[in-house]
Amino acid sequence: MPFDGPLTEEQRRFAEQNHNLVYKFLHQHGLSIDEYYDIVIFGFLLAVQRYLTDVSLAPYAFSTVAWSAMESALRNHRRTARRRLRLHTKSSRHGRYRICRPELPSESEWMSQLETTLLLHTLSAMVSAQQMQVLQLRAQGVSVRAIATRLKTNIQQVNELLEDVRNILHKLSDEC
């Protein structure tokens, strides 16, 4: 289940009451808060949403659901990092593949990534769940036609939702 956008008020209160689980998870896994908080928090927030909306999770303690979601987020992060390390480029002289280690982003690239993340976080609080779903699919490279088919709507509706999101983005950029 993908992240459904902004939390409801009930979900926010529940997340605040159980936020200590994030720090406990990081501590027990020996992970730096500065480096890994942003990675596991999304798993935690997804667990909050799922736990309060999916009745099949009622028999389980929230800590179990959250722990599993945070472990999944950490595994996904590590898998992505390993993939980046295995980027292969073909050597022209020997016809062999060599491993290219990705460079760390420069400070300006890092700031740009941070600004993008903050903008998306702000945007998620201003758009509907349907607009966020369309935006996420479009960001993954799914065509407008495929989005319309997947959401059982027409192309015009998808384009209107995307246009609404663009207008919100323009308003946000004007405020900055």
Tokens of 20: 């200590």
pLDDT at res. 5: 66
The one-letter amino acid code at 94 reads H
Nearest to 69 by CA among 127, 134, 60: 60
DSSP secondary structure code for residue 7 in this structure: P
Tokens of 9: 């008020």
Average of per-residue pLDDT across 54-61: 91
Specify the pTM. 0.49
Average of per-residue pLDDT across 57-74: 91
Average of per-residue pLDDT across 34-61: 90
pLDDT at res. 62: 93
pLDDT at res. 87: 56
Number of residues assigned to the chain:
176
Cα 76 to Cα 80, 117, 120, distances in angstroms: 6, 18, 20
Residue 33 has pLDDT above 90, yes or no: no
pLDDT tens-digit series, residues 134-151: 888 887 888 999 999 999
pLDDT at res. 108: 67
Computed on alpha carbons and rounded to an integer, the radius of gyration of the chain in Å comes to 20
**Which position has the higher pLDDT, 92 or 79?**
79
Domain spans in the chain, listed from the N-terminal domain onward? 1-102, 105-176
Tokens of 50: 């799922």
Query: Are residues 158 and 147 in contact, defined by beta-carbon separation less than 8 angstroms?
Result: yes
Q: What percent of the chain has pLDDT over 90?
A: 31
pLDDT at res. 88: 42
DSSP secondary structure code for residue 55 in this structure: G
Query: Which H/E stretch holds residue 89?
Result: strand 88-90
pLDDT tens-digit series, residues 101-129: 555 556 667 666 777 677 667 777 788 88
Average of per-residue pLDDT across 69-80: 88
Question: From the CB of residue 74, how many other CB atoms can be counted at a distance below 10 Å?
Answer: 18
**Cα–Cα distance between 112 and 104 in angstroms, integer?**
14
Residue 170 has pLDDT above 60, yes or no: yes
CATH topology for 105-176 is Arc Repressor Mutant, subunit A (1.10.10)
pLDDT at res. 154: 93
pLDDT at res. 139: 79
